[in-house]
Amino acid sequence: MLNKESEEKIRIYFIRKNLINIITVLTLITVSLIAVISNNNLFVYIVSFFLLVFVLSISAFMVSQTEKRFRDVEAGYIHYFFDSLSYLIFFIPFLLSSFIINSGDHNFVLRAIYIDVFLLLILVIALWNPFLSVWKRRSLPLQEQKLLSQIFELSKKLNVTITGVRVINWKQVKIANAFQTGLKSYYIFISNFLYENLSYDENLAVIAHEMIHASKNHLRKILTLEEGIFFIVINIFLLAPTFSDSIITQLFLIVIALSILFIGISLFLPFLRRKYEREADVYGAEFTSADALIHALIKIGNLNLAPLSTSKLWNFSHPDINTRVKYLNSLKKGEA
């Protein structure tokens, strides 16, 4: 059990880091939207780009100071600055969308087709995952042969192809995490900061959790649904003028589009992500050990300074640790 001082430290760290991320993302979206409505003004594009870099530099400084103060990480400001530049990837779709929307061609259907092709390209890139080569360079193959044997034995039971299991070097930033990526065959990555702090059974349980995600194509389904929501919303926006000349009708369609966006991104996808996490927890525990996964989850929370209990408003992707421990314990009793 944590003492009150430790609990307060975790609470302040958690809130502070989430607020930095939320403010950063909202600022980036605002600046990007300004660029979109600028009617292809090159000066606005350039100013927006440098403003984004400035915002990210401030955000990186705040994150680095937070991490050093609360978690005593070894990584310096430069690491967090370059890490934050990945946010600029989201500026490029806004830029290209702006160019298409503000093009001289007033054929709304043709614009919609251009945007749809662009969205399809983004989905293909996301599924292909251009970061895979970077992660492979920063990682080493798992060397524990006994663990590897059990992993590949489990992959046969799950009918999923595991290309490799790699330990990624995140000790400097103290990230305790594991994830999987791939289309038909998958890589499993686990951070050395997590791997070295878990027992053999706990590592197996965590990797099994990721293998369940891979076997059930959870990530692919989420990415496809995200793109599907944006596809519907953007097409309604672009094609609204072709449905009716009435401003009221067009505004009604835009309200529908915004409602779909809000419900999809804020309610449906978070619900689905938490459902998939529970599925990976339950099936992973059945193939390994519920106790091992419970202990691993608690350790992950401690290593990452994550509170055991949080509101769903703070976490759109995972149930909190207490919730996961509760249904894993019920699984042991045959109630789940």
Q: In what order do the strands lie in the sheet with 185-191?
A: 139-141, 161-168, 185-191, 178-182
pLDDT above 90 coverage of the chain, percent:
52
Q: What is the pTM of this model?
A: 0.88
| Helices of type H across 72-185 | 77-84, 91-101, 108-128, 132-137, 145-158
pLDDT beyond 90 at 282? yes
The pLDDT, as a whole number, for residue 150 is 97
Euclidean distance between CA atoms 281 and 324, whole angstroms: 8
Closest Cα partner for 34 from 22, 24, 23, 48? 48
Residue 34 or residue 222, greater confidence: 222
pLDDT beyond 70 at 39? no
Least confident of 85-89, 90-94, 109-113, 258-262: 90-94
Least confident of 135-149, 247-261, 294-308: 247-261
CB neighbour class for 326 (10 Å; exposed up to 12, middle 13-18, buried from 19): middle
Find the mean pLDDT for residues 158-172.
Answer: 95
Residue 38 or residue 141, greater confidence: 141
Euclidean distance between CA atoms 82 and 120, whole angstroms: 28
Domain ranges within the chain, ordered by starting residue: 1-104
Strand, coil or helix: 125: helix
Task: Give the residue carrying structure tokens 């459902």.
Answer: 275
Residue 96 or residue 229, greater confidence: 229
pLDDT in tens, 179-233: 999 988 999 999 999 999 999 999 999 999 999 999 999 999 999 998 899 888 8
CA dihedral (219, 223, 224, 229) in degrees, to 10, reads 140
pLDDT in tens, 225-254: 988 998 888 888 777 777 777 888 888 888
Least confident of 101-110, 237-246, 261-270: 101-110
